[in-house]
Amino acid sequence: MMQLENYILGKWIKGDGDGQILYHAVTSEPIATATTKGIDFSTVLHHARLKGNPALRKMTFQERGLMLRSLALHLREHLSKFYQISYQTGATKADSWVDIEGGIGNLFAYASLRRKFSDQPYCLDGEYHSLGKSNSFIAQHLLIPKEGVAIHINAYNFPVWGMLEKIAVNLLAGMPAIVKPATVTSYLTEAVFREIIQSGILPEGALQLICGSASGILDHVDSQDVITFTGSALIGKMLKSHPKVLSENVPFTMESDSLNAIVLGEDVHPDMPEWDLFIKEVRKEMTSKCGQKCTAIRRIFVPENKIEDIQIALKKSLEDVLIGNPLNDKVRMGSLAGLAQRKEVKEQVQKLLASSQMIYGSMDSVSVIDADANIGAFMSPILLLNQQPMSSTAVHEVEAFGPVSTLMPYGSLQEAIALVKLGKGSLVSSIVTNNTSIATDYTIGAGTYHGRILVLNSACGKENTGHGSPLPLLVHGGPGRAGGGEEMGGIRGVKHYMQRVAIQGSPNMITAISKVYQPSASGNTDGKHPFKKYFEELEIGDQILTKKRIITKADIDAFADLSGDHFYAHLSDTEFQGTMFEKQVAHGYFIMSAAAGLFVDSYEKNPVLLNYGIEELRFTKPVYIGASIQVRFTCKEKIPQSKKDMSEIEKGIVKWLVEIIDNENEIVGIATILTMVAKLNQE
């Protein structure tokens, strides 16, 4: 029997002694042992801070994102190996797909997110603030990677996804991590981790793995570290209140199991497609991963006049679920992760049975395919019915972390909202309805108690990702019992691993620090039009001040006819009394178009490949006939692009600040335009 190894200090190390025995969920045969005995956690953290942190902090967002992409591509080459090991956790092919390829998908998602950041190790956060009348003193918020290490303490139900969804975020942010998977399924995490290290893609110290107990690791954290925890609320609260965590004010993100609910709208009837969507969603969330999901549906709320029909439909649907060896293609629900987990689930069901009745399933027997129900950690789906949910407490407090859900009636939408809130905070809730008023009232009424709400109807039925599927670019977490934290969430998640610092100074100084041009900073005018410069030649602050153009009545009339925009303010015969304008005014989009005619160098080919778009366009002052405009055109930011294939041109995106100035030296329009610019050296 193999002993799992820990990857620390740049090498694979076995712990002292035999350690905890890990079992095959289907056959209950011993697979491996795991232990961290003998490991000095202070040196593990020191290694991450000393080696991994400086290496990642030196890399730009673009480099870190491409690193994640390379890692995702590498892991995809070993899927068959991961799937074979995943079956030992009791997971079916569909369960494993979510865990393995879903986790790799997180790497791809955050790799793509690099395009939202600058080509620097740090980035600005939000817009600048002028702190003086002459704009000589401004402020910005800067996000800088923390100097510590992220400690990820994960749950047993998703040994791959749980690791990859977290490290994708901290690595993009520029922070190393120590991964501590739940020991019971850590053999799968270790297999994936070995391929991560084998790839050689990550810098030394960027990632370390602990297979076994992490007792004592929090004794060595400091204020620059970040801790994430996924698991039971009880253990999470214990860790969160660790003296060192409190004394050092270490950020602690907890995502704990919650009593997630689904609600059937009062408008839904058996002859509607939403009825079938509801039944399928409940069955899927009860049986997927054998109910071992922090987002699984634990409470089912149905209008009291439909409770009997739903009960019949759910029981019939659950009868179609084939349980057994996940290696068998016919099987749709595998086993729990182990016998210990099954024992715990049954104990929790017994607590629920004190106030509920079992209407489907069995605590003692289950029919399985291609396996022995007495040996493996198999369990029947169990559907409970609680007729008095407003007066029951256990159903809103006790979670059986397996294929167990409780059906309950509600009298009105407001009562349904009140019942959902009795769970004291959940990761996710769903409402199945085709009525926009019901959907709105439920979302606003229940939203404060949830991290995510799925509004499900036939319009999104085919494409919806499901009640229990957290997505990389959406926050995953919830208030109260759900932990009070959030993970992922796209850019929001990256910020959890960075320190936000307000910086104040002159526009020139803030430009120099941020590497993004700030309004009123000095420009670089070397006589060469910026559009004639290749990507590598451009410098932040490269600037031109164009010649002036006088706006005429003929310009305005011609643009109105060309565009079809005959808004009253652009017509000369309009009676302007009582309007915001004095007389015929130029179209804002004409002013922007005229500005482009002033700053675009269009007489010969140049490195600018195309116009990529406009951001933050504002018209700040009316432009009347006879006024003149000119443009201050400045290189604001540069973001390199990676080639999708070898035939593509080497290029980057350049952001330009466009300030349109009138004859009174006032800004009448401002925008950021994006161009795609070729690189000088084509590989």
> Among all residues, which ones are annotated catalytic?
255, 294
Structure tokens at 325: 């060896």
Structure tokens at 287: 């049986």
572, 553 contact by CB (below 8 A): yes
221, 244 contact by CB (below 8 A): yes
Q: Using CA atoms, how far apart are residues 625 and 615, in angstroms rounded to an integer? A: 27
Beta bridge pairs of residue 124? 142
Q: Using CA atoms, how far apart are residues 622 and 662, in angstroms rounded to an integer? A: 10
AA identity, residue 126: G
* Residue 263: Cβ within 10 Å count: 26
Q: Using CA atoms, how far apart are residues 431 and 440, in angstroms rounded to an integer? A: 10
AA identity, residue 606: N
* Residue 148: Cβ within 10 Å count: 23
Return the SS3 of 278: helix
Structure tokens at 633: 């055109």
679, 659 contact by CB (below 8 A): no
- Residue whose C-alpha is closest to residue 170's, from 185, 189, 150, 184: 150
Residue 396 burial (10 A CB sphere; 0-12, 13-18, 19+): buried
CA angle 434, 435, 441 (to 5 degrees): 130
Q: What is the DSSP letter of 542?
A: B
Q: Using CA atoms, how far apart are residues 493 and 89, in angstroms rounded to an integer? A: 29
The per-residue DSSP string of 635-653 comes to EEEEEE---SSTTSPPEEE
Q: Using CA atoms, how far apart are residues 232 and 223, in angstroms rounded to an integer? A: 24
Give the CA distances from residue 61 to residues 66, 68, 117, 121, 143, in Å, rounded to whole numbers and listed in that order: 9, 11, 6, 6, 12
Q: Using CA atoms, how far apart are residues 602 and 529, in angstroms rounded to an integer? A: 11
425, 485 contact by CB (below 8 A): no
353, 367 contact by CB (below 8 A): no
Backbone dihedral region of 287: left (phi > 0), alpha (psi from -120 to 50 degrees) or beta? Answer: alpha
